[in-house]
Amino acid sequence: MEELNGLKLRTNVLEKGKVRNKTLLDIGAGPLGIIAARDFNCRVASIDISKEKLKEVKEDAILEGIKGIRFELGDATNLSYKNDKFDVVVSYAALHHIPLDKRENFVHEAYRVAKEKIIVAEYTKLGFDLVHPGGEYKPVDLDWLERELKSLGRIEKYLYRLMNIYVCFKFRNENEGSNVL
């Protein structure tokens, strides 16, 4: 369980996404935003639909002396930000908390407000079953996620035992890129 909830995975996500010195939207408030601000010199907006979660993570940031993070109540399926607002948008194990019929909106909204790329880290079947055995959430269909991201931009994927990381780069113009890895 420590491997799933540990900070190493979150740091790995940020390293794979090459987020140093970026503006970053962290969807689903948690330690990732703190790590991004502290260790990667990012300016972070961390959103969540839970006031309690935002309060908890804000208190953690204050305890660590972290500045440069805004904590905002927000719905990831209907973001209030303008297009291309953030260099990078990161979702760490948040997509499986979204109802099935809103997951496509989630991905497209993240893409819309990202200037350079979105990073989606989501549990494999094994990882999901360890974190949410018999719970209320439904695992993300990772094949669907990969297809959806490929339809938007060029992707890099990092496949692990418990979690996969997908980095989706935005096309700069209509003629750039292809859906090939």
Tell me phi and psi for residue 60, to 5 degrees. Answer: -60, -40
Question: Helices in 6-157 by DSSP H: which ranges?
Answer: 7-16, 31-40, 51-63, 103-113, 125-131, 142-152
Q: Is the pLDDT of residue 6 over 80?
A: no
The pLDDT, as a whole number, for residue 135 is 79
The pLDDT, as a whole number, for residue 5 is 53
Given pLDDT bands bounded at 50, 70 and 90, which one contains residue 25?
very high
Picking from 5-19, 23-37, 118-132, 163-177, which range would have the lowest pLDDT averaged per residue?
163-177
Q: Is the pLDDT of residue 179 over 50?
A: no
Is the whole model's pTM more than 0.95, yes or no?
no
Q: Is the pLDDT of residue 172 over 70?
A: no
**pLDDT tens digit sequence for 87-142:** 999 999 999 999 999 999 999 999 999 999 999 999 999 999 998 988 789 999 99
- Of 27, 68, 35, 29, nearest to 52 (Cα)? 29
Kindly state the average pLDDT of the residues 141-169: 96
Could you give the domains of the chain?
2-170 (3.40.50.150)
Q: Is the pLDDT of residue 174 over 60?
A: no
Q: What is the mean pLDDT of the chain?
A: 91
Cβ proximity of 47 and 76 under 8 Å = yes
